[in-house]
């Protein structure tokens, strides 16, 4: 039985994981609060995490998708409920 050697994560990969998880959290909070204040920043965080890549590449991809969907849902919810966008 063999397995691939486990290499140590680079600090940038760890940072990418944290950025991706923060982007998911902020984008989901943006749906409930003010979408134009929070979600564009979350999209930027997700794109930075995706650019760093590494082990958190799949999480960063999900963060970009969730942030994009949150923007559409948050804007639609704010317009339908007549809440302020920012």
Task: Give the chain's mean pLDDT.
Answer: 90
Per-residue DSSP letters for 41-83? HHHHHHHHHHHH-GGGHHHHHHHHHHHHHHHHHHHHHHHHTT-
Indicate the pTM of the whole model: 0.85
Give, for all 86 residues of the chain, the pLDDT tens digit.
666 666 777 888 999 999 999 999 999 999 988 899 999 999 999 999 999 988 888 999 999 999 999 999 999 999 999 888 77
């Amino acid at each position: 039985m063999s397995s691939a050697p486990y290499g140590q994560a680079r600090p940038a990969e760890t940072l990418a994981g944290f950025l991706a998880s923060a982007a998911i959290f902020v984008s989901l909070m943006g749906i409930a609060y003010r979408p134009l204040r929070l979600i564009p920043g979350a999209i930027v965080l997700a794109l930075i995490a995706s650019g760093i890549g590494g082990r958190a590449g799949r999480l960063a991809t999900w963060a970009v998708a969730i942030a994009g969907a949150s923007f559409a849902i948050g804007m639609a919810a704010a317009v339908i409920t007549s809440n302020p966008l920012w």
